[in-house]
């Protein structure tokens, strides 16, 4: 039953996507708006197909229907409901199913948003691209990644359950779906990029749309990555949160490129520059998503969380090839005709800072990509030897890039567009810079050593103060606007919250979150202390100012889990229970750390070994400062992303003049005048290449 | 991104985007070529310390209720298959093992021995009966055999040479042809 229904759902999704492609193709070829309009109904059908399939699979998992091979391999009678539900994404075929559902959701959201512009060519092409991607993923589920295959032979009465590591912490309920919402979300920006290259519409209007979709995907990807770091800290028992593992890198690569895009797109919206560059970033982000999926799903790289199934690999690799050839080929075909008129006037300007930001993000993405695939390239050239690329390689680049980004975050928000003067910058940055210097001085006096952490703290304080200054100014501006409009002081204070919303202000909140993460990361990794203590019950040991007393041991047994726990008393107060657990019939015993967490530091306790004879247990103890601030920073980034998605004050319509006077074939824009106030018309000029009517209400620049 | 606009003259026709795109395509093609030719790292044969050493002894109770001790027969390879009725992939490889046993029955140069792993005897017996298994299945109470062979996941299969050395450890479903290949390789190495 579950299998039949599931197959039906997958088939519905696939057929809807294929028919949608044909209908839109015909509509675009014949130029018939009515056909284009009818092509949009297939997106909700894809979503319905995905929903049916996912519902069948979840039903099968929760009711332990072992007639499905997927359930028999990833579930057991004793698996609790929570981990039965998460079973959907604990192996290859199910995760492709989740991918299909999320893509169906995005496709539906997209056609709903553009339902009034559905006869436009650009929307038609973008929808067509989304359908092609959907057809590919649903097609995978009809062939090599079929989640609904029936077991061979007798139906088993029980199964091994999910991988032990995946039923150890409830974070697996939200981390993977967040990640998928992020990764799959890059499909829409890619679709818009392809559509605008084909139709030749590179105006800033669609960039507003693409930015919003990218921001949505980016926020989920950020949350997904940070939740993944949290999960690995809580579960894996080595006291770390990031290991530069290929699977982690696979999620980081699109994030880096997406972050670069979210910054550089502002240069395009504001100045009409960097058009082809922005398109390239969007194409790169999606291509890297597919490449990452290939790397982690095909088994070509060794990784702790890779699903290995080689039959799907060649298909994903071919799809990656198609995506790259389509995106890059279109840029080669169109790019030189569509490049931006005008240029960046001065490197010391907002757009100059964004460009530097892009160089750092894209450069670092290249470093990460190279480090991830280097072992494969090396083995291809030296068939009989192998090489691994570890954390030292990535950190050698990550630390300077991170510090440079902190510096940019400190300076850029104060930089005006186009150009600036020393006086202006001195006035705006004096206080934040002084705060940075004071922070370093205080840290040195407090006895903190090391160039890298001190630089991180100082630049972090500088950047946070700079972001805080921008927020204070915008809140004050919102308050004054409200006051001058005649509102009472109380109402105006409430109106001040508008100083936190919108692209720029929400972005500053994100910056503060990133600074908090950066400082926590620098502190936690620079001042980590690790030891192993051997204790018999009743004895205590002192480490890094903490007393750890081994109170005793206990065994915990439930149908789904059996565990040996050690009872440890830390600093004479709380009890902590690091454990070694075994889940269901699975044979892999996994360590479960116990963490004494406070805002100052974390004490991370694991069982290193249980003696076969005697009573002396060995414990791993890791002391790291400020770890909790990683998660606080993550929440701040999430909140900032939400704030920046809320439209801010509408200072101008998209068609209104913006800064930077320049005209086609005119001499370079004059370098004088007040920054950011020139009566320019980049955006209108950009639309001159486009004969189609301007959409109504689109391209809100906020 | 600076323009080519100089002194009001029309912009020089540029092909930057094209050349950069072509370069990127060439690099991507190279990357795809390398990735496409990589063998999957999901190695079926795993490096288990037991490989190359003398096989741990297998003796004890069988599912049929008798006792059995694995004899060393000159010229005969033994395929030791750890299985459970809850292991779906074990069910999938079952017919392959049955075929392998059938092919080697007459020549008597190889045989199969199953070891139940973390399962109930009745479930395991039913699933073996369904497959038509004719060889003995060890009950392995306490998982001693599995522990000695370092079994961590199912399906796990070991090939033991006539001289008693373990020649292969496989952690994915085996096929009759795959087992023949491993045996042929072991013979070639031994010769």
- Judge whether B87 is closer than 8 Å to chain A, CB to CB: yes
Cβ of B32 and A317 within 8 Å?
Answer: yes
At A383-419, the pLDDT tens digits run: 777 778 888 899 999 999 999 999 999 999 888 888 8
In a domain, B169, yes or no: yes
> Which pLDDT tens digit goes with each residue over A608-633?
888 777 888 899 999 999 999 999 99
Closest by CA position to A563, among listed A167, A171, A174, A233: A167
Indicate whether B171 belongs to any domain. yes
Residue B145 pLDDT > 70: yes
All residues at 6 or more sequence positions from A531 whose CB lies less than 8 Å from its CB, including other chains:
A543, A620, A621
Domain count, chain B: 1
Q: What percent of chain A has pLDDT over 90?
A: 49
Distance from the B152 Cα atom to the nearest Cα atom in chain A, whole angstroms: 6
Packing angle between helix A246-271 and helix A175-185, nearest 10 degrees?
Answer: 50
Cβ-defined contact of A159 to B119 (cutoff 8 Å): no
Q: Please tell me if residue B12 touches chain A, with a CB cutoff of 8 Å.
A: no
Task: Please check the confidence at residue A375 and state whether its pLDDT lies above 90.
Answer: no
* pLDDT for A662: 40
Helix (H), strand (E) at residue A106: helix A92-113
Cβ under 8 Å to A: B residues 101-140:
117-119, 123, 126-127, 130-131
pTM greater than 0.80: yes
| Alpha-helical runs (H) found in chain B | 16-37, 88-105, 121-131, 144-149, 176-190
Tell whether B45 is covered by a domain: no
Please state the φ and ψ torsions of residue A585, each to the nearest 5 degrees: -85, -5
* φ, ψ at A488 (rounded to 5°): -70, 155
Q: Is residue B98 part of a domain?
A: yes
Find out whether A125 and A199 touch, Cβ atoms under 8 Å.
yes
User: What is the enclosing helix (H) or strand (E) of A620?
Assistant: strand A617-625
Distance from the Cα of A69 to chain B's closest Cα (Å) equals 7
Q: Tell me, what's the pLDDT at B41?
A: 46
Confidence at B186, pLDDT banded by 50, 70, 90: confident
Query: Which residues in chain B touch residue A76, judged by CB atoms under 8 angstroms apart?
Result: 86
Nearest chain A residue to B127 by CA distance is A154
Which residue matches tokens 């288990």?
A: B48
- For residue A302, the model assigns a pLDDT of 57
Contact partners, residue A598, CB within 8 Å, separation at least 6: A628
Distance CA A617, CA A568 (A): 11
Whether A702 and A207 have beta carbons less than 8 Å apart is answered as no
pLDDT of A695 reads: 35
Which of A100-104, A472-476, A687-691 is the least confident region? Answer: A687-691
For residue B82, the enclosing domain spans: 59-190
Of B3, B21, B25, the CB nearest to A335: B21
**CB contact (8 A) between residue A276 and residue B17:** yes
* Å between A96 CA and nearest CA of chain B: 19
What is the structure's pLDDT at A360? Answer: 96
Look at B1 and A152 and tell me if their CB atoms are within 8 Å.
Answer: no
Residues A341, A662 contacting (CB under 8 angstroms)? yes
Closest residue to B89, CB basis, from A73, A154, A158: A73
Is B153 in the A-facing interface, judged by CB distances under 8 Å?
yes
Q: Is residue B4 part of a domain?
A: no
CA–CA distance, A43 with A47 (Å, rounded to integer): 6
Q: Does B27 touch chain A (CB under 8 A)?
A: no
**Cβ contact (<8 Å) for B14 and A336?**
yes
- Residues on chain A touching B94 (C-beta within 8 angstroms): 152-153
Which carries the bigger pLDDT value, residue A345 or residue B22? B22
- Taking an 8 Å cut-off on Cβ atoms, the answer to whether B18 and A332 are in contact is yes
Assigned domain for B44 exists? no
The angle formed by the CA atoms of residues A160, A164 and A166, to the nearest 5 degrees, is 110
Q: How far is A345 from chain B (nearest CA, A)?
A: 9
State ipTM: 0.74
Show me where the domains of chain A are located. 1-162, 486-648
Counted across chains A and B, CB pairs separated by less than 8 A come out at 156
- pLDDT-derived band at B92 (thresholds 50, 70, 90) equals confident
How far apart CA B190 and CA A516 sit, in angstroms, is 62
Is B156 near chain A, with CB under 8 Å? Answer: no
- Please count the other Cβ atoms lying within 10 Å of the Cβ belonging to residue A5: 17
Asked if residues A336 and B17 have their Cβ atoms less than 8 Å apart, the reply is: yes
Average pLDDT score over residue span A629-644: 93
CATH number for B145: 3.40.30.10
Q: What is the CA radius of gyration of chain A?
A: 27
- Looking at every residue in chain A, the average pLDDT score rounds to 85
Residue B105 belongs to some domain of the structure: yes
* Residue B119, Cβ density class (10 Å: 0-12 exposed, 13-18 middle, ≥19 buried): buried
């Amino acid at each position: 039953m579950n299998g039949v229904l599931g197959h039906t759902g997958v088939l519905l999704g696939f057929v809807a996507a294929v028919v949608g492609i044909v209908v839109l193709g015909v509509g675009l070829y014949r130029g018939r708006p009515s056909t284009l309009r009818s092509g949009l109904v297939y997106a909700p059908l894809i979503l319905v197909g995905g929903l049916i399939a996912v519902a069948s699979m979840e039903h099968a998992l929760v009711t332990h229907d072992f007639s499905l091979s997927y359930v028999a391999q990833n579930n057991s009678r004793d698996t609790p409901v929570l981990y039965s539900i998460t079973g959907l994404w604990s192996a290859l075929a199910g995760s492709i199913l989740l991918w299909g559902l999320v893509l169906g959701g995005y496709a539906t959201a997209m056609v709903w948003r553009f339902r009034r512009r559905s006869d436009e060519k650009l929307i038609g092409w973008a929808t067509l691209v989304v359908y092609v991607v959907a057809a590919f993923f649903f097609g995978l589920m009809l062939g090599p990644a079929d989640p609904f295959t029936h077991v061979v032979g007798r139906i088993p009465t029980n199964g091994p359950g999910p991988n032990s590591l995946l039923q150890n912490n409830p974070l697996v309920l939200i981390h993977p779906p967040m990640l998928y919402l992020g990764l799959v979300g890059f499909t829409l920006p890619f679709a818009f990029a392809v559509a605008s290259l084909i139709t030749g519409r590179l105006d800033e209007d669609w960039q507003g749309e693409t930015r919003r979709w990218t921001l949505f995907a980016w926020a989920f990807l950020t949350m997904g990555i940070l939740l993944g770091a949290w999960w690995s800290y809580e579960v894996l028992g080595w006291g770390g949160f990031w290991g530069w593992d290929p699977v982690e890198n696979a999620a980081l690569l699109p994030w880096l490129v997406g972050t670069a895009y979210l910054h550089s797109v502002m240069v395009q919206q504001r100045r009409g520059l960097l058009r082809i560059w922005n398109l390239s970033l969007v194409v790169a982000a999606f291509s890297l998503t597919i490449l990452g999926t290939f790397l982690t799903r095909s088994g070509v790289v060794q990784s702790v969380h890779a699903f290995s199934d080689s039959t799907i690999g060649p298909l994903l690799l071919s799809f990656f090839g198609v995506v790259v050839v389509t995106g890059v080929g279109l840029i080669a075909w169109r790019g030189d005709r569509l490049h931006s008129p005008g240029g960046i006037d001065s490197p010391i300007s907002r757009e100059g800072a964004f460009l530097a930001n892009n160089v750092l993000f894209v450069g670092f993405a290249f470093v990460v990509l190279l480090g991830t695939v280097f072992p494969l390239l090396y083995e291809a050239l030296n068939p009989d030897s192998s090489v691994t690329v570890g954390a030292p390689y990535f950190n050698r680049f990550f630390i300077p890039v991170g510090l440079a980004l902190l510096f940019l975050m400190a300076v850029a928000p104060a930089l005006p567009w186009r150009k600036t003067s020393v006086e202006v910058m001195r006035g705006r940055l004096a206080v934040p810079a002084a705060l940075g210097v004071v922070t370093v001085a205080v840290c040195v006096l407090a006895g903190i050593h090391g160039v890298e952490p001190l630089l991180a703290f100082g630049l972090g304080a500088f950047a946070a103060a700079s972001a805080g200054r921008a927020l204070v100014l915008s809140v004050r501006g919102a308050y004054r606007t409200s006051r001058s409009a005649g509102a009472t002081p109380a109402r105006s204070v409430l109106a001040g919250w508008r100083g936190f919303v919108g692209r720029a202000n929400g972005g500053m909140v994100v910056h503060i979150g990133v600074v908090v993460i950066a400082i926590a990361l620098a502190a936690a990794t620079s001042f980590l202390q690790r030891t192993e203590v051997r204790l018999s019950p009743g004895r205590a040991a002192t480490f890094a100012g903490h007393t750890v007393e081994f109170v005793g041991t206990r065994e915990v047994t439930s149908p789904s889990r059996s565990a040996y726990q050690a009872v440890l008393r830390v600093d004479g107060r709380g009890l902590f229970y690091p454990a070694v657990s075994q889940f269901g019939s699975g044979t892999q015993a996994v360590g479960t750390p116990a963490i004494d967490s406070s805002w100052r530091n974390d004490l991370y306790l694991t069982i290193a070994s249980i003696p076969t004879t005697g009573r002396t247990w060995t414990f791993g103890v890791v002391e790291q400062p400020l770890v909790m601030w990683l998660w606080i920073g993550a929440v701040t980034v999430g909140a900032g992303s939400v704030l920046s998605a809320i439209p801010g004050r509408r200072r101008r319509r998209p068609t209104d003049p913006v800064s930077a006077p320049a005209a086609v074939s005119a001499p370079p824009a004059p370098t004088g005048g007040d920054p950011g106030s020139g009566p320019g018309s980049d955006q209108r000029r950009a639309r001159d290449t486009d004969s189609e009517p301007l959409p109504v209400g689109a391209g809100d620049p906020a | 991104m600076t323009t080519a606009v100089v002194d009001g003259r029309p912009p020089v026709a540029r092909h930057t985007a094209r050349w950069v795109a072509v370069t990127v395509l060439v690099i991507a093609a190279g990357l795809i070529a390398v990735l496409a030719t990589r063998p999957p790292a999901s190695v079926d044969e795993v490096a288990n310390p037991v490989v190359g050493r003398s096989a741990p002894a297998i003796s004890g109770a069988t599912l049929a209720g008798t006792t059995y001790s694995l004899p060393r027969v000159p010229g005969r390879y033994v395929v030791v298959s750890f299985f459970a009725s809850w292991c779906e992939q074990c069910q999938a490889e079952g017919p392959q093992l049955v075929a392998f046993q059938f092919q080697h029955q007459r020549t008597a140069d190889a045989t199969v021995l199953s070891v139940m792993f973390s399962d109930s005897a009745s479930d395991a017996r039913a699933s073996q009966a369904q497959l038509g298994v004719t060889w003995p299945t060890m009950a392995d109470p306490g998982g001693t055999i599995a522990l000695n062979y370092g079994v961590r996941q199912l399906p796990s299969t070991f090939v033991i040479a006539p001289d008693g050395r373990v020649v292969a450890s496989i952690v994915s479903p085996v096929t009759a042809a795959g087992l023949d290949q491993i045996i042929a390789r072991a013979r070639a190495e031994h010769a």
